[in-house]
Structures are given as structure tokens and as C-alpha cells.
Structure 1
Amino acid sequence: MSKGTLLYAQSGGVTAVINATASAVIETARARKIKVLAAKNGILGALREELIDTSRLSLAQVRALAHTPGGAFGSCRVKLKSLEADGDKYARLLAVFRAHDVRWFLYNGGNDSADTALKLSQLAEASGYPLTCIGVPKTVDNDLVLTDCCPGFGSAAKYTAVSVAEAALDVAAMAETSTKVFVYEVMGRHAGWLAAAAGLAGKNAAQAPHVILFPEVVYDEATFLAKVKATVASVGYCVVVVSEGLKHANGKFVAESEGSVDAFGHSQLGGVGPLIAATVKDKLGLKVHWTVPDYLQRSARHLASKTDLAHALAVGKAGVEFALKGLNGVMPIIVRTAEKPYRWKIRAEPLRNIANAEKKMPAGFIGKDGYSITAACRRYLEPLVRGEAAMPYAADGLPKHALLKHTMIGKRLPPFKG
């Protein structure tokens, strides 16, 4: 039996398939006779020495994670600062790792998590502690650089495109005597990938969405209202998709809440959908409905993409394999190798090339009008939402999810004070 323990942690906003990655991590490690601990509530659990013994989970429970949304072990929005500013926290993490013989650390998250994994790998190396750190990709925003896409995005994209297409049929049916404009808000602080995914719902200018407001395109109210008015006149109704990260020319978010920031220090966005809807109603006098799906975008496992599920499982498996090979400070990224048919592979990429960088929509993916997607964008997106990721349903008609009862291992260190 190999010596050492593998610690897995989830970070940031969860997705419809992040638990599939966890499932692959646990099953792959078990096959190598490696004990797997999971940090309760992400990096907080590691700091607090609140560690879950996954060996107490049956194989059926582990595999059921693959069709369970949310974060089975708990996640958190906690960003560690530099090694100098948060030295005590990094030292605490190493102390916990030493206490439980953790030799491999897999941090499943986005950009900030990649940065933390990189810093931990550097600190462990400087300290002479044999620790291999792997950043495992996950985000619905699809904003990690170098990887072709991020596990979690494909399913959120599929949910968005399907929801917009179905809502558009509803609006079209009622437009003669009721709603003329429907506004659908999507996630995406700086990158408009989910907004773009909504574009898959329509194949021509007459089909919804008629207007997409990207964070990469400066919001011009007059031009936007003219577009909405013209669409209602020609089509009979207008479906607008707006990214939460929509900005004014001065760089300020349209929906920014004054003086409010989240745990990562980002401005708290207050709901751009209702604001855009109110603008249309007040300025054009049209009847408007709006929706903010919010968490529904990232938790809809019942509508997950088969491609996305395959990606999530693959990065989990590869993360363990890379760790056991001693590939320290890397991330298993997805590389697109062919378009027709769509093919891909996994490659190890150094975290130093990924951390603190952000992938936005290429200019060539946004239509010349600034409100639509191009054929190139459609070619990129379509493979990512393909296929249905089947899941079991109970006799009551509701999905079967893995609802785990965690067993914590005993603590060996004084309580964390931080």
C-alpha cells in the first residue's frame, strides 16, 4: 500500500458536475490504494482540520456523486492572499497536511483556487515537505485560460440555451395581448460565455434571443432601446439576455451595489435583469417580464450536458494520476483536438500559466452589432452542450441524489484561530 493521504477540497460556486469530479478523484485514488480525505467546506475545512473520511462511503455512494449537483463536501468563498500577507494560514495548512500525512492536495475550483494551489506548492517545496498540489478546473463562467473549456460550464450553457428557447415560445404565444419583452439574466462577471450560450437557442435574427448584452461590450442605453423597439416592431416581441457583468463606459457595473463586496473582494452585483427590464418599461412603455435564474444555472443536474459530465470525470481522474506522478503545481486542462467530430484530450498545464489570468470572449465570437454571437462562437459552443447526462429518478418522480452522512476523522492539532 502506498504511503500518504490525498486531500480533496471544493472551492467557490459549485456546479452541476463538480461532484462528478469528486467521484472520479475518490474512485481513481481507491484503485491505487490511496486514502482520500475531503475538506469540509473547502479550504476552511483544511484550516480548521475538519476532514471527512471518504473511505466510509460505499462504492455506490461514490458513483452516485456523479449525478448529484451542489458540493457534496461543502465549498466556500475564501481567498488566501499572498504568502506574506497570509503566512499564518499557509503555515497552518502545512501543519494540518503534516499531521495527517497529506502528500497530495487537489483543489477543485476556479482562478483563485489555482492561485492558492500554486502558492501551496511553492511553500511546501521551500519548506522541504513532500507535497504535490494540483488545481482541478471548475467554473460555470468558463473563464480559466488555456483550457478549452471549464467543467461545469457546458451544463450551465445547456440549461441557459434550453431555458431561453422554451421561455421564448411562451412569450411568443402571449405577445399579441401581453408581454412584449422578456429579460433573462445570466451569470458572468467579466466574461460573457454564458450570455453567448443563450445564443444557441436561435438560428436566425427572428428567433430568440434577439439581444444579448455582453460584459465585453459597453452598454449604450439608447442603442439598446432602439434595438428592442425595432425587434418588437418586426418580430412582435423581444427576448433579451443580459450578463450580470454588464458595464457602463466608465467601467462601472450597471448593477453594482454601492459599498458591497463578496468574500473575494469583488463588487456585489445587485441584479441587472430587473434594472434592464425597468428601463425598457419606463422608456418604451412596453409590458416586460424578467427572470434571474441565479443558482438554477449551476445546479440543474437534470439538464446536464453529457460532454460536460465526461469532462468533469476526466479532470478528476487525471488530477489523481498527475499527482501520483509527482507533477506538482499543474492543472489537468481540456484540449480540443478536432471539431468534426468533436474530440478532446487532457493535458497537464503549469498553474503559473493559469493563475491570475482570465479568459474573456474573443472579439470574433461577438457579432458586429454587439448583440449576437458569430458562427465561430456557435461552432465552439455546440459540442459543449451536446448529449444528455442520464440520472436515476425515484418512484415519486424526483431525481435520486447522493445525500451523504459524513464521518470526520479525529483532530490532532490545536484549534485554528484565524
Structure 2
Amino acid sequence: MAAGTLLYAQSGGVTAVINATASAVVAEARARKVKVLAARNGILGALREELVDTSKESAAAIRALAHTPGGAFGTCRYKLKSLEDDRARYERLLDVLRAHDVRYFLYNGGNDSADTAHKVSQLAREFDYPLTCIGVPKTVDNDLAVTDCCPGFGSAAKYTAISVREAALDVAAMAETSTKVFVYEAMGRHAGWLAAAAGLAGEGGDQAPHLILFPERTYDEADFLARVEKTVARVGHCVVVASEGIRTADGRFVADAGGGKDSFGHTQLGGVASHLAGRVKDALGMKVHWTLPDYLQRSARHIASQTDLDHALAVGKAAVRFALDGRNATMPVIVRTSDAPYRWKIEPAPLEKIANREKTMPAAFIRRDGYGITAKARAYLEPLIRGEAYPPYGKDGLPRYVTLRNEVLRQRLEPWKG
């Protein structure tokens, strides 16, 4: 039996399959006789010493996590700064870990979370505390470096491609006497992976989406409006997919909501679809509809990708294995070994090569005119949305999801004042 306790925490925005990773972590640790605690509401719960005792959860509940969306233990957007600037918080975190004999820390999140896990490993080394830190990959934006893809992306990509294909059929049916242009807003601040996934909805210039706007390309309003007009003239309607993070030539976000920045330092975005719809209506005089799926993109467990679920389970299991093997400051990443047939494996990668690094769309994945995806992008994206991992349904016609008991341990330290 391994010595010490494992602490698992979720970070940032959730995905349709992040709970599947949690399920795999708890199940694998149980199989290896390791006690698992979970931080309530992510790193904040760890700092507050609000630690959930997962041993209170039944095996059936842990299994049900694999088909339940959301973040079962709660998550947060809370970024720890450098070790120097946030010294007190890091030391408080280490105090909490010591108090509960935590020897393995698994942080399930994106770039910032990988950075935090890396810094905690450095602090533990400085204080000579035996702690193995593992970053566990998660993000719908698919922007983590090193890993071929991110658990959570495939399901969001599948939802996006399906939604665009279905909406396009609706628009085509109404175009003669009603809607000429439909604008779909996809998540993606700096990386256009989800917008690109919409490209799987159709093939050829006359199939939707007709125009995709990527954050990797400068938004040129005059050119965009001209292309919309030409598409409507040729096809009869136009379906546009726009990443929330598109920028003008001066670097300004088209969808800057004016809400300042969040705790990660990210500009609050919102409304690129409504903005584009307004410009099309005003400039071209066409009837426009638009949609902002927002949380729906990342919570749509009812149509999750089986490939994505397999990835999420695999990284959770590997994270525990790497932790118990003492692979400190690493992350289990997905390595693609073949496109056709699609094959992949899990390997460890150092957190220092992942933390705070962002993977954007390769130039070879974006069509030369900047408004669509290439065959290379399609070959990369298609395997990630394959397979349907439906949740079980009840007699009421709704998915049967689980809610955990989330019993918090008695605190052993003085309340955190931070």
C-alpha cells in the first residue's frame, strides 16, 4: 500500500468529460489502496482546507461520474501568481497538504493549472516535503502544448459540428423568404480549434459552414461582408462560424465586452455573433439570426464523443500511476501514433514544457483564404469526434446524472485569512 493521501482538484471551466477523469482517478487510486481527497471548488478549497472525503462515495456513484457533466467537486477560476508574489498562499497550501498527509497532488485543468502544479512541486522540493505533483489535461479550447489533443475538446467539437450541421438545414429551409445569414459563436480566445471543428459539418464551398472566422487570422470587416454577400448570391444563404476571440488589425477583440479581466488575466469576451449579425443586417440589409451556445458547448454530455471519453478516462488512470511511480512535475499527454486508423497512447511530459504555453491552429490547418479548414485539419479533427458515449436515460426521458455527497473533512488548521 502506497504511503500518504492523494489530493485531486479541478480547475477552470469544466468539460463534458472532466468528471470521467475524476472517476478514473478515484477508481484507480482505490484499486491501489490509496486514499483520495478532493478539493471543494478547486484550489480555493485546498487553501481553505475544504477537502472532500471520496471514501464516503459508493463505487456506483464514482462509476456514474464517468457519464455526468459539470465539475463534481466544484471548480474555480483562481490563479496563483509566482512563488515570490504569492508566497503566503503557496505555503498555506503546503501546510494543508502536510496536515492531511497528502503525498500526491493531481491538478486537473489547462495551461494555468499546469503552471500551478509545477510551482507547487518546486515549493515542496524547497521545503523537502515528499510530494509528487501531476498536471492532468483538460480544456475545450484544445490549446495545451505537447499533448496531441485535450480531453474535453472532442465532445465540444462534436457538439459544435452537429449543431452547425443541424442549424444549417434549418437556415436552408427558410432562406427563400426569411433568414439569409446565420452566425454561430464558438469558444476560443486565442486558438480557433472549436471554430475549426465546425468545419466538419460540411465539405465544399457550398456546404455549411460557408465562412469560419479564426482568432489566428485578422478580422477584416469589409472582406467578410463581401464574402457573405457573394455566398448568399451563390448558395441562397450563408452560415458563419466565428470564434469568440477574433481580433481586428489593431489587436482589439471584436467581442470585448468591456467587463475587465478575470482572475486569470483574460479579457471578458461576449457577443461576437450578435455584433457580426448586426453588421450584416446594417450593411447588407439581410435578415440574420445568431446564436451563442456558451456553456452548452462544454456541458453537452448527452452527445459526448467516445474518443474523448476514452481520452479522459485514460489520463485519469495514468495520472494516478505516474504519481505513485514518483514522476513529479509531469502530465499524462495524448500521443497520436496514426491518423488512419486512428491510434493513440499516453506518455508523461514535463510540466515546464506545458505550463503557460498555448497551442494555436497550425497554418496548414487553415484554408489559404482564411475562411475554412484544410484536408489536414479534417484528418486531425475527425477521429476526435468519433463514437457516441450516451449517458443512461431514465423513464422521464432525461439523462440520469449523479450528485455526490461531498462530505468535507474536519479541518485541522486555523481558518485561512487569505
Same structural fold, with TM-score higher than 0.5 when normalized by the shorter chain:
yes
**Matching of residue 26 in structure 1 with residue 26 in structure 2:** yes
Does 2:305 match 1:316?
A: no
Q: Distance in 2 between matches of 1:214 and 1:86?
A: 35
Secondary structure at the aligned position of 2:347 is classed as strand
3-state SS, counterpart of residue 19 of structure 1: helix
Query: Offset at 1:306?
Result: 0.2
Confirm or deny: 8 A CA contact 2:20 2:66 kept in the other structure: yes
2:89 — aligned with what?
A: 89
**Does residue 366 of the first structure (1) align with residue 338 of the second (2)?**
no
Give the corresponding residue for 1:414: 414
Match of 2:167 in 1: 167
Q: Deviations over 1:128-181 (max 9, x none)?
A: 000000000000000001100000000000000000000000000000000000
* Deviation, structure 1 residue 257: 2.6
Q: CA deviation at 1:390?
A: 2.5
Counterpart Cα distance in 2 of 1:303 and 1:349? 30
Structure 1 stretches (4+) deviating beyond 6 angstroms? none
**Structure 1 position 204, deviation (Å):** 1.1
SS in 2 for 1:389: coil
Match in the other structure for 2:393: 393
Shift in Å, 1:13: 0.2
2:5 aligned residue: 5
Cα drift, residue 324 of structure 1? 0.1
Instruction: Please state how far the C-alpha of 1:3 moved relative to its aligned partner.
Output: 2.1
Q: Where do residues 45-84 of structure 1 align in structure 2 (5 Å cutoff)?
A: 45-84=45-84
In 2, Cα distance between equivalents of 1:94 and 1:262: 25
Residue 271 of structure 1, CA deviation: 1.4
Quick one: distance in 2 between partners of 1:401 and 1:85?
41
What corresponds to 2:154 in structure 1? 154
- 1:170-198 superposed Cα distances (whole Å, 9 cap, x missing partner): 00000000000000000000000000000
Equivalent residue number for residue 291 of structure 1: 291
1:152 is aligned with what amino acid? G
Residue 404 (structure 1) shift: 1.4
Query: 1:339 — aligned with what?
Result: 339
Name the residue aligned to 1:213.
Answer: 213
User: SS of the residue aligned with 1:380?
Assistant: helix
Give CA-to-partner distance per residue, 1:214-233, whole Å, 9 cap, x none.
Answer: 00000000100010000000
Give, in angstroms, the shift of residue 259 of structure 1. Answer: 5.5
**CA–CA distance in structure 2, aligned partners of residues 381 and 255 of structure 1:** 26
Aligned to 1:275, the other structure's residue is in SS state helix
**Alignment CA distance shift 1:296-1:88 (3 Å):** same
Kept in 1: contact 2:56–2:405 (CA 8 A):
no
Residue 279 of structure 2 is matched in structure 1 by: 279
In the alignment, the residues of structure 1 paired with residue 17 and residue 356 of structure 2 have an alpha-carbon distance, to the nearest angstrom, of: 24
Q: Which segment is superposed worse, 210-219 or 255-264?
A: 255-264
Corresponding residue SS for 2:352? helix
Q: How does 1:93-108 map to 2 (within 5 A)?
A: 93-108=93-108
Q: Once the two structures are superposed, what CA deviation does each residue of 1:265-289 show, in whole Å capped at 9, x if it has no partner?
A: 1111121110000000000000000
> Structure 2: how far apart are the matches of 1:380 and 1:3?
41
Count of aligned positions: 418
Range that drifts further, 265-274 or 176-185: 265-274
1:85-128, Cα deviation, whole Å (9 max, x unpaired)? 00000000000000000000000000000000000001101110
Instruction: Give the structure 2 partner of residue 231 of structure 1.
Output: 231
Distance 1:153 1:177, change over 3 A: same
Report what 2:378 is aligned to. 378
Structure 1 gap segments, 5+ residues each: none
Q: Offset at 1:332?
A: 0.2
Cα distance in 2, alignment partners of residues 381 and 389 from structure 1: 17
Matches within 5 A, 1:127-206: 127-206=127-206
Secondary structure, counterpart of 1:103 in structure 2: strand
Q: C-alpha root-mean-square deviation of aligned residues, in Å?
A: 0.6
How much has 1:406 moved relative to structure 2? 1.3
The alignment partner of 1:104 has SS state of strand
Helix, strand or coil at the partner of 2:108: strand
Q: Which runs of 5+ in 2 are unaligned?
A: none
Q: Answer whether contact 2:11 2:43 (CA < 8 A) is retained.
A: yes
One-letter code of the match for 1:195?
Answer: A
Correspondence for 2:125 = 125
In 1: Cα distance, 2:44 partner to 2:181 partner: 44
Tell me the amino acid that sits aligned with residue 367 of structure 2.
G
Partner Cα distance (2:68, 2:271) in 1: 28
Cα separation, 2, equivalents of 1:104 and 1:2:
10
